[in-house]
Amino acid sequence: MNSPETFPIEKRRRSEIIRQRRPKTDLANAEPPNFEIGWKRTKEINLEKPVGYVVADFLEKLEDLMKKEFGSTELLAKVGEIVAERAREEAEILRDEGKVEERMVVELFRVLRLMEMDLAMVKASVKEDTLNERLDQAKARCRQAILVAYSF
């Protein structure tokens, strides 16, 4: 039969995962690792806002209102006029300070005027499908004005 020397049983081995019953640390804590070394940012993040940020902010808020069901069409057209007027004032201030070229301000005024005309058409529309078409056109003009403002 099998003798104890030839019997195929493995002897008990120590566990691969060795637990430390008592941590082998001194009373003074070790120096924490310096994470700054090797983690320098290679590309700078530009935190400055673009010059036309204020104008674009007004227009983005108007575009958000156009996406939602915002009151009546008359109310939306009135808000569009107010936002366009405020955007014009801000653009004129930037132009007077010399931060923006005249041609960019003229381009913004042109797009804002077209957007106001589209909103007047939204106000005058009767059928639902024409209202949606004109509202889409006004949104597109608003996005175009935002792009012009960001290019200041």
Q: Which two tokens stand for residue 132?
A: 């949606």
- Tens of each residue's pLDDT in the chain, 152 residues: 567 667 666 666 666 666 556 656 556 777 777 666 666 667 788 888 888 888 999 899 999 988 887 778 899 999 999 999 999 999 999 999 988 899 999 999 999 999 999 999 999 988 989 999 999 999 999 999 999 999 88
Quote the CA–CA distance of 26 and 68 in Å, as a whole number.
64
Estimate the crossing angle of helix 102-124 against helix 73-96, to 10 degrees: 170
* Residue bearing tokens 């949104």: 139
Q: How far is CA 46 from CA 54, 101, 113, 145, in A?
A: 17, 23, 32, 23
SS3 content of the chain, % helix, strand, coil (to 5): 55, 0, 45
pTM of the model: 0.66
Please state the domain extents for the chain.
53-150
113 exposure class (CB count in 10 Å sphere: 0-12, 13-18, 19+): middle
Pick the CATH number of 53-150 from 1.20.120, 3.30.200, 1.20.1050, 3.40.50: 1.20.120
